Amino acid sequence: MIDKDKIHNLVGVFYQPTFKTFFINSVDGETFIKPIGIFVSLGITTSTKVLDDIKNVIADTGDYVAQIAELSSRKSGGQFINTITNIENPQQFELSEFPEGVMNEQEAREELERMKALMTPEEDLEVLKTYAPRISQLQDLIEKLTNTGGWDAHLIQKKEEGNYSVFHKFVNYRKDGDIEYRIGIYVRDKE
């Protein structure tokens, strides 16, 4: 049987953020079976490139078969029943609802211009000290997304404290009723 701890430790060498590993313990989503593999669930916003890189690290050991896959999990009898639901062409999940303060490129540029307009010599020093770092941060994020072609997959989110961050439109997790879906890496022992 595949060693879950060994897989977790191997991934941890190359991926330092928090991640989870799950036994694949069903083929039909209804019946529990002896584990047939491990599913590695990296961060919710981890890019498909990083998923692919980690998959290749696992496969390159020569001991395992590793594939990008979709997992479904649901509780049954107090335990999670984990099933691979898509191994052919799994895709990250596109969000359809966004939190308050999320801006597309045009809205982010309008926000930047609005703040720049506040930066006049007559303005109070506290206003200048407040908005200068925000302008710089927002401008850097706009340039980053523009230079990398990232606007198709990202937005910019204004946080309550006035800071800005990149917001991912595509994620590796969604919940539908009592079923959780994840995109990650399916690992099996090599036959």
Do 85 and 12 share a structural domain? yes
Phi-psi region of 127 (alpha: psi -120 to 50; beta: other; left: phi over 0): alpha
Rounded Cα distance, 53 and 172, in Å: 16
Indicate if 26 and 113 belong to the same structural domain: no
pTM value? 0.85
pLDDT values of the chain reduced to their tens digit, one per residue, 191 residues: 789 999 999 999 999 999 999 999 999 999 999 999 999 999 999 999 999 999 999 999 989 999 999 999 999 888 999 999 999 999 999 998 898 899 999 999 999 999 998 887 777 777 778 889 999 999 999 999 999 889 999 999 999 888 999 999 999 999 999 999 999 999 999 87
Are 151 and 110 in a shared domain? Answer: yes
Residues 18 and 53 both lie in one domain: yes
DSSP for 19-32, please give it: -EEEEE-BSSSSS-
Long-range CB contacts (< 8 A, 24+ apart) of 24-30?
A: 24/71, 24/82, 24/83, 24/84, 24/186, 25/80, 25/81, 25/82, 26/81, 26/82, 26/83, 27/83, 27/84, 28/83, 29/72, 29/74, 29/81, 29/83, 29/85, 30/76, 30/81
Same-domain check for residues 107 and 21? no
Task: Please tell me whether residues 72 and 112 are part of one structural domain.
Answer: no
Give the C-alpha separation, 168 to 108, whole Å.
Answer: 15
Co-location of 154 and 89 in the same domain: no
> Quick one: 29 and 89 in the same domain?
yes
Let me know whether 51 and 118 are in one domain.
no
Residues 26 and 56 in one domain: yes
Q: Tell whether 112 and 141 lie within a shared domain.
A: yes
Domain around 25: 4-94+171-189
Please check whether residues 28 and 78 belong to one and the same domain: yes
Number of structural domains the chain divides into: 2
